Amino acid sequence: GKLANKKLMALVGKLLSFVDKADPILHTPADPVSFPLSQEDKQVIADMLWSIQPPQLLAAGAAWPSASGMAAPQWGIKKKIFLYRTEEGTYEVIINPTYEPVLVGKEDLITGWEGCFSVPKARGLVLRYAKVKTTHQNEQGETITRIISDWPARVWQHETDHTNGLLYDDEKESDAGKCLEFVPTD
C-alpha cells in the first residue's frame, strides 16, 4: 500500500477534472484492470492520487474540500479503480473491487448520509449494508479480502457502486444502496 503509493507518486500526477453527472461513464460499468499494471494504469493511479489531495480538489472546483474515497469514473476514466482513505488519512489504491453483505440479523441494512462529488450540492440518506466482505487487488495484483463495517463499509459500497455505473441517487431494485431521502445543500 504505502510503498506502492510512494512509487506511483514518483510519476508526476496531473490534475483530473470531474465529469458531469449526466456523463454516460458514470452510468456504465467500468472495465476491469489487468496485471501487471500497464504504464497507462500506473499514470491513471498517480493522477488520481494527486487529484484527490485537498489543494487539487479546490483547484478542480470540487463540492467538498476532502474525500473519503474517489472512483476513476468520476474523473472520466472507465476503469475499476478507486481510492479509499484509511484511518491513518492516507489513500489506498483499490483495483477491481467487489463486496458482498455479511448478514448478522436485524441491523443488516443501516441508513446514513452520503455526499458525492458526482452529485454536487446535495446529500442523500442511503441504505447500505452494515458489514461487508470486500475483495480487491492492490497495485501488485495481489488479491486482498477483508471484513469491514460501519463508515468504511459505506464508503466501500459507494465507491464500488461507481465502478459498476451506479450513483447513490439512481433508482435501485434492491434495498441496499437505495436513497431514501435526497436533500439539496445549496
Question: CB atoms < 10 A from the CB of 113, how many?
Answer: 11
Is 159 labeled as catalytic in the residue annotation?
yes
H-state helical runs in the chain? 2-10, 39-51, 54-59, 150-163
The answer to whether 113 and 124 are in contact (CB under 8 A) is yes
Whether the pLDDT of residue 167 is over 60: the answer is: yes
Identify the residue with better confidence: 60 or 38.
Answer: 38
The answer to whether 9 and 91 are in contact (CB under 8 A) is no
Rounded distance, CA 118 to CA 159, Å?
11
The pLDDT of residue 6: 53
Catalytic residue among 92, 114, 139, 159: 159
Q: Confidence band (pLDDT; 50, 70, 90) for 173?
A: confident
The sign one gets for the Cα dihedral 111, 112, 116, 121 is positive
pLDDT for 123-139, tens place per residue? 999 999 999 999 999 99
The answer to whether 31 and 25 are in contact (CB under 8 A) is no
Rounded distance, CA 181 to CA 179, Å?
6
Whether the pLDDT of residue 5 is over 60: the answer is: no
The pLDDT of residue 174: 80
Whether the pLDDT of residue 31 is over 90: the answer is: yes
| Backbone φ and ψ of 176, nearest 5° | -65, 130
Rounded distance, CA 184 to CA 22, Å?
17
Whether the pLDDT of residue 54 is over 90: the answer is: yes
